[in-house]
Homo-oligomer: A and B are copies of this chain.
Amino acid sequence: MSDNILSINLATTRQQWGFAEAVDGCLARGITAISPWRDQVAAIGLAEASRIVRANGLRLTGLCRGGMFPAADAEGRQAALDDNRRAVDEAAELGADCLVLVVGGLPEGSRDITDARAQVAEGIAALLPHARASGVPLAIEPLHPMYAADRACVNTLDQALDLCEALGPGVGVAIDVYHVWWDPGLAQAIARAGRMGAIMAHHICDWRVPTRDLLLDRGMMGDGVIDLPGIRAMIEAAGWNGPQEVEIFSAQDWWQRPGDEVLAVCQERFESACQAR
């Protein structure tokens, strides 16, 4: 039986629904896989969120998000590590497939991206024993280079895989098409990820032309220029056939529509625009 199911990252209906409403909306459409954000879980409470997940047999394809490791001083780095340990605990309690790591960018006032990258490696290494002990895989999500300064200084899949190799078991990658579609080395990197057994998540959306905002203008699958069937084929050829998780930040468009309409379009496009060819 294929594990290639549709999952909804709850950022996709962030402006319409809280955690419980989003779960109800998904269940009403037969969607049983989700990926919530920590603030959405916190708003309803971890215990209640966990109860809802278990009562409905939901699959959590990830918890968003840990990371943000680099900081200007030791106190900042310790605070980040403490918060990441709490994120691991929440992922464990919710039974999430992985904790997604958006690793962080340059500390305030820094122009040293090499140092920021070293801090990321150190931060994940420090987090890893607790994650392993908790049974929570860590999924490094390489982010598009346009976020290198302020969100994540891990910007290609190969760079993330280098980190995985250095860190050892318990760390893999979340492949979000929005961040990696442009990479001339993408096919080889996905094959490498497959050989490493490192693929933990596959996030989908689309790249609009024009893109009107650096952060909040992601497109619905099929509305942009990403070769979603081609990338899915690479991922399946690499031996991973897991869920495709829709994650759309769209201030001007999808966040303005009723949640149920958004989910209906996600389901339709998952079938028509996202399957490997």
Contact = CB atoms under 8 A, between A and B. Distances in A.
Interface of A: 106, 110-113, 117, 144-146, 148-150, 153, 155-156, 159, 181-184, 207, 209-211, 214, 224-227, 230
Contacts of A149: 182, 207, 209, 211, 224-225
Identify the 5 closest CB pairs spanning chains A and B, nearest first: A148-B182, A145-B182, A146-B146, A111-B227, A159-B184
Interface of chain A, helix or strand or loop or mixed?
loop
A182 B113 contact: yes
Q: How many copies does the complex hold?
A: 2
Given A155-B182, A182-B113, A184-B159, A225 B145 contact: no
A249 to B, nearest CB: 15
Chain B CB within 10 Å — which of A144, A149, A150 has the most?
Answer: A149
Contact of A210 (B106, B150, B226): B150
Nearest to A184: B159
Given A111-B225, A149-B182, A149-B211, 17 more contacts: A106-B225, A110-B225, A111-B226, A111-B227, A111-B230, A112-B227, A113-B181, A113-B182, A113-B225, A113-B227, A144-B146, A145-B183, A149-B209, A149-B224, A150-B210, A156-B184, A210-B214
Contacts of A182: 113, 145, 148-149, 153, 155
Contact of A184 (B117, B184, B214): B117
